[in-house]
């Protein structure tokens, strides 16, 4: 799915995707690495609730992806469910 989205975007289609799927996200990363889409043609954002605010507001993080498909900064809570689940399973 991520590769298909990347192909459409590289051909001039403006696409907005909201997802909780690491498969879609990693598909886009792989498309960047394999030059299906240029890294500067996409923007990735992560929104999370501001826990320090008494108001209901979000903190927005820009998630840059390098030309080789790597993510240099993973904010807290960004696709961390696998790690949390694995930690819980491995506890004694």
Segment 38-92, tens digit of pLDDT: 999 999 998 888 777 777 888 899 999 999 999 988 887 777 777 778 788 888 7
Rounded Cα distance between 72 and 58, Å, is: 22
Burial class (CB in 10 A: 0-12, 13-18, 19+), 53: exposed
Q: How many separate helices (H) and strands (E) can be counted in the chain?
A: 3, 2
Question: What is the pTM (predicted TM-score) of this model?
Answer: 0.78
30 within 8 A of 3, measured Cβ to Cβ:
yes
* Distance (Å, whole) CA 5 – CA 36: 10
Asked whether 41 and 10 are in contact (CB, 8 A), the reply is yes
């Amino acid at each position: 799915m991520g590769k298909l989205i990347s192909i459409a975007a590289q051909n001039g289609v403006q696409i907005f995707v909201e997802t909780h799927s690491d498969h879609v996200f990693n598909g886009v990363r792989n498309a960047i690495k394999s030059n299906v889409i240029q890294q500067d043609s996409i923007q990735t954002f992560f929104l999370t609730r501001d826990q320090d605010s008494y108001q209901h507001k979000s903190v927005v993080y820009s998630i840059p992806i390098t030309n080789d498909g790597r993510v240099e900064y993973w904010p807290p809570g960004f696709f961390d469910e696998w790690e949390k689940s694995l930690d819980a399973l491995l506890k004694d």
